[in-house]
Structure 1
Amino acid sequence: MRIVFMGTPEFSVPSLNVLIEEGYNVVAVVTQPDRPKGRKRVLTPPPVKVAAEAHGIPVFQPERLRKPEAVEVMREFAPDLIVTAAYGQILPKSVLDLPAHGCINVHASLLPKYRGGAPIHHSIMNGDPTTGVTIMYMEEGLDTGDMISKVELPISDEDSTGTMFDKLSIAGSELLRTTLPDLIAGRITAEPQNNEEATYSPNINRENELIDWTKSARGVFNQVRGLNPFPGAFTYFNGEVFKVWASELPVQNKQAGNANPGTVLHTDEQGIHVQTGDGVIILKQVQPAGKKAMEAAGLARGNQALLNAVFGASRLAEDEDK
């Protein structure tokens, strides 16, 4: 069986490795083009490309898969099955129709919940206790295809998008390992999704990143860890963007008098204590504008401006950002 694998970030690499380890005939890997990264904008290949080239597998990097010339290259690969995992582009019908065994996707949510491009971020930002991976058949709709297999994982308060990204990446690859033999042998009975239960997880935008201090302490806590390690939650301090990378909830979380949400109540060796809509949250790791990420307690020492801060209060900064 000729398999074409499609994926881009580090999340996809374990699934590609499983295909290689199990001896499947991976005739090509399709991934996104190399992109500039870092402050020096160095052209960097996607992790899946690096993994594929290490095993001598041909790599195809179309800017747009929908272009006729890209579809023709896909046709020349003559795939019997296409396996995708976080590829990053929607597959057109002309590609979906190529393999006799269809196209399957390793998706990082328990479908039909969190269809779309950022399921891990949204599951943590929403405070879900569990998430998982679904392998499904692909069709023209956005993650609407019939479900083949699932695995469920817990989300703890210690988890962030980064930790769940790693856990779900491995869980998805192992689910692929156990699912493929039955799929290829025709022993799979796929389950249609209940569209009435569907929710969506669109890609993260600037509005998702801005902290609303009137939310509950738990809500801010979930937002911060849901945006760690990328792209990061932020507020405004002294009219400039102020990133918040990590936070924690105090053991006893009570409203601090009549302080407005966003008010810095005090600082200590734990970090920066900030009022929210229903209690206090402690900022643990922050990043002022123009500086590297640092421990909040270290920034707070002797910083009188910080002691008098009300985060998110600068409308001028918000207007300039827009």
Structure 2
Amino acid sequence: MRFVVVGSGKTAISVSKAIAAHESAELVGMIGDSRRETVQSSFLKQAEKLGVKAIAVKSLKQDPALSFLRELEPDYVISANNFMIFAQDALAIPKRATVNFHNGPLPAYGGVNPFCWALMNGETSYGITWHLVDLGIDTGDLLVQEVFDIDPEDTALTLMIKCIELAISSFRERVLPILVSGILNPYQKPDVAHTYFTGKDVPYGGVLPWWLDADALIRYGRAMGFAPLPNMFYRPLLKTTNGDQLYGARVEIGSSQPGAVPGTIIAADEQTITVATAGASLIVSELYKRAALKSEIPVNDHPIKVGDTLITET
């Protein structure tokens, strides 16, 4: 069986290695995302080590991606940590199927940052899914799904790491043997509603939710927990009744402040703002002027001060 891997990072590298090591599989090509991959990247370097043809592209909807795939004549295309969309022309090329890894249990948690939403929703279990790719996004038939318990201390970062590790082991132990056998037996979960989160979906209207109860605040803090990696979810808005506003990239749960009025600023310096709640406090750091998750220098001076009051809506 001939395989092409599309993706980036640890998951795509490990999947490529597993295919290359399997006696009944042949890794014939690797495609990286040029928006995320460079010639010096680990994924494309791995292709060189494996002696496999590789390219980096901006899109899978046109050449050179389509001509590269047609030349290689794969039986399967494997999408792992891939953020490019497969159009019909690309899906028609592999002789058997295109298979994608999704870091959430489909169909309940599709889209971007599903582990953050699961933590905020108070889920006690989570999972990863290998599924067939169709013209929708995260809508194809399921191939393999692995479910595990969420630990009370799990954050967005630890849950994301667990998903990556489980994706790698499940591909090697379950997915690859199924694909090589040629007997896929894909299935659906018609009793579970399909939910899809876009990168533009943000909780609580994008505002820092200082009004939440204690349990919801803890869940929120865990969902925002990416440290030491950059925040990949969203920057909540802190806007005062005076009209001053900032966006925070880091949110941590602090100790309670008896007597403090929820929604008021109880501590503030150039880099950190602490907000009182009905239970614990919210410590917000890495402050920015804009909401967009992109390269930007944090502010080192701002007008928000102790005693200011935050609003509850934009």
Indicate whether the TM-score tops 0.5. yes
Give the superposition deviation at 1:176. Answer: 0.7
Conservation of the 8 A alpha-carbon contact between 1:62 and 1:70: yes
User: Judging changes above 3 Å, is the alpha-carbon distance between structure 1 residues 28 and 11 closer, same or farther for their aligned structure 2 residues?
Assistant: same
Mapped partners of 2:143, 2:94: distance in 1 = 17
Give the superposition deviation at 1:129. Answer: 1.8
Match of 1:137 among 99, 124, 132: 132
Kindly report which structure 2 residues correspond to 1:247-266, keeping only aligned pairs within 5 A, or say none.
247-248=252-253, 259=261, 261-265=262-266
Q: Which amino acid in structure 2 is aligned with residue 212 of structure 1?
A: P
Q: Which amino acid in structure 2 is aligned with residue 283 of structure 1?
A: L
- The match for 1:97 is 92
User: Judging changes above 3 Å, is the alpha-carbon distance between structure 1 residues 199 and 103 closer, same or farther for their aligned structure 2 residues?
Assistant: same
- The match for 1:275 is 276
- The match for 1:296 is none
Q: Does 1:310 align with 2:309?
A: yes
User: Judging changes above 3 Å, is the alpha-carbon distance between structure 1 residues 245 and 53 closer, same or farther for their aligned structure 2 residues?
Assistant: farther
| 1:201-246, Cα deviation, whole Å (9 max, x unpaired) | 2224567654232333443443343243423543337834242524
Kindly report which structure 2 residues correspond to 1:27-66, keeping only aligned pairs within 5 A, or say none.
27-34=28-35, 47-66=42-61
Number of aligned residues: 292
Mapped partners of 1:286, 1:262: distance in 2 = 16
Mapped partners of 1:242, 1:44: distance in 2 = 34
| 1:155-211, Cα deviation, whole Å (9 max, x unpaired) | 234222222221111101111112211332134322123275211122245676542
Runs of 4+ in 1 over 4 A off after TM superposition: 43-47, 204-209, 289-293
Q: Relative to total residues, which structure has the larger helix share, 1 or 2? A: 1
Q: Which amino acid in structure 1 is aligned with residue 12 of structure 2?
A: S
- Corresponding residue SS for 1:262: coil
Mapped partners of 2:55, 2:180: distance in 1 = 25
Mapped partners of 2:155, 2:117: distance in 1 = 11
Q: Does 1:241 align with 2:241?
A: no
Conservation of the 8 A alpha-carbon contact between 2:57 and 2:65: yes
User: Judging changes above 3 Å, is the alpha-carbon distance between structure 1 residues 58 and 210 closer, same or farther for their aligned structure 2 residues?
Assistant: farther
Q: Does 1:194 align with 2:199?
A: no
Scaled by the length of structure 2, the TM-score of the pair is: 0.77
Scaled by the length of structure 1, the TM-score of the pair is: 0.75
Q: Does 1:213 align with 2:215?
A: no
Give the superposition deviation at 1:151. Answer: 0.9
- The alignment yields a C-alpha RMSD, in angstroms, of 3.6
In structure 1, stretches of 5+ residues that fail to align are 37-42, 294-304
